[in-house]
């Protein structure tokens, strides 16, 4: 069953709303005893979607695992801003791997725990889209194919933000990066959730930081399974996307409302649940607030590129059934 949609009629914070619910309906972040897995002192940019997503993911993991979990973190923004030597903002068992081998290291940790008979300790691997979609893809595919008992989480901010905002395999068509200064006019990106589904692993899901209850729910659901599991989380980057730091949640929500980022769950390679779009928006509503797409609306508008992006969104809406039953399951 998908996460329960709850209406909060009072004004105030998200946590205040949780206090009106039964304890089993409250979010992890409403619990005063939460782990605070990623705590104060890190050096993330203001408005960083990845820092927000990682905190919610790991706190939900720790609650589901009874505080017995090991996290393996690929090189990237999340690792760099959270662990500047000799400091760390992590309050979990945490290992740093190379850029491309986090899935392999996580697999090794899981195998070692199994050999020691520690079936009570769960393993999580995590990284950005660079370390997941590009550099770590072979290791991740191997983890999926072997069905290793690891939950891998990709925090997708659409580029190599830590090293200067270079294009990755997850960079959207038409976006400016430092390696595509005129806009990414080639390629269509990789859909890692669909690649994961093709391996027929037990659980695959997508989520965004615009719906944190849904994110917590999917982490908790993933922890109910054993074997390889994959969660792909959209985490806007104010620096790389050239957006205001207070716009992170709104931008993430627009990505789903336009159909550019489908939110769904899949079990054993088959989609089981899709989050429908309640208010469909044109892609220009998502593109215009982002400086990385500003060239599309300049003195010489690139209607052709905007049209291609809209076509991608329309296809997602049709194939995933984001407004009505899907074309294919």
78-105: average pLDDT? 95
Task: Read off the tokens for 97.
Answer: 């791997």
- Nearest CA-CA partner of 73 in 57, 88, 93, 94: 94
Q: Could you tell me what percent of the chain has a pLDDT over 90?
A: 83
> For the chain, what percentages of helix, strand and coil (3-state, to nearest 5) are there?
40, 15, 45
Confidence tier at 22 by pLDDT (50, 70, 90) = confident
Q: What is the pLDDT of residue 1?
A: 47
Q: How would DSSP label each residue in 179-212?
A: SSTT---S-----HHHHHHHTT-SEEEEEETT-H
pLDDT at 276 over 60: yes
How far is residue 221 from each of residues 3, 24, 59, 63, 203, measured CA to CA in Å? 10, 14, 14, 12, 9
* Top-confidence residue, 22 or 98: 98
Q: What is the pLDDT of residue 329?
A: 45
Q: What is the pLDDT of residue 12?
A: 46
* Top-confidence residue, 329 or 73: 73
pLDDT at 198 over 80: yes
Q: Are 42 and 89 in contact (CB under 8 A)?
A: yes
Q: What is the pLDDT of residue 8?
A: 52
Render pLDDT for 161-188 as a digit per residue (tens, 0 to 9): 999 999 999 999 999 999 998 877 676 7
Render pLDDT for 112-128 as a digit per residue (tens, 0 to 9): 999 999 999 999 999 99
Vertex 53: Cα angle to 111 and 15 (nearest 5):
120
239-265: average pLDDT? 97
pLDDT at 272 over 70: yes
């Amino acid at each position: 069953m998908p996460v329960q949609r709850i209406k909060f009629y009072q004004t105030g914070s998200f946590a205040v709303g949780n206090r009106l619910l039964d304890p089993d309906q409250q979010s992890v972040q409403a619990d005063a005893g939460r782990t605070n897995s990623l705590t104060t002192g890190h050096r993330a940019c203001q408005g960083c979607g990845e820092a927000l997503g990682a905190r919610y993911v790991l706190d939900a993991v720790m609650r589901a695992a009874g505080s017995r979990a090991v996290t393996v973190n690929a090189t990237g923004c999340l690792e760099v801003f959270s662990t500047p030597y000799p400091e760390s903002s992590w309050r979990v068992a945490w290992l740093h791997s190379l850029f491309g081998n986090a899935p392999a290291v996580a697999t090794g940790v899981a195998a070692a725990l199994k050999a020691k008979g520690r079936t009570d300790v769960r393993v999580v691997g995590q990284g950005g889209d660079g370390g997941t979609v590009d550099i770590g893809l072979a290791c991740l595919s191997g983890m999926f194919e072997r069905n290793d008992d690891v939950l891998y989480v990709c925090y997708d901010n659409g580029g190599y933000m830590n090293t200067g905002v270079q294009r990755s395999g997850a960079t959207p068509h038409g976006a400016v990066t430092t390696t595509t200064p005129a806009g990414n006019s080639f390629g269509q990106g990789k859909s890692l959730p669909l690649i994961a589904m093709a391996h027929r692993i037990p659980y695959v899901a997508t989520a965004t930081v615009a719906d944190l209850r849904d994110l917590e729910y999917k982490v908790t659901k993933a922890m109910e399974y054993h074997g390889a599991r994959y969660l792909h989380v959209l985490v806007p980057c104010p620096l790389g996307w050239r957006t205001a730091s207070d716009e992170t949640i709104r931008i993430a929500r627009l990505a789903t409302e336009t159909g550019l980022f489908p939110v769904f769950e899949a079990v054993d390679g088959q989609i089981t649940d899709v989050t429908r779009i309640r208010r469909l928006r044109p892609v220009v509503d998502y593109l215009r607030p982002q400086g990385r797409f500003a060239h599309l609306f300049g003195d010489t508008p690139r209607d052709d590129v905007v049209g291609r992006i809209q076509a991608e969104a329309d296809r997602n809406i049709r194939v995933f059934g984001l407004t009505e039953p899907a074309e294919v399951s």
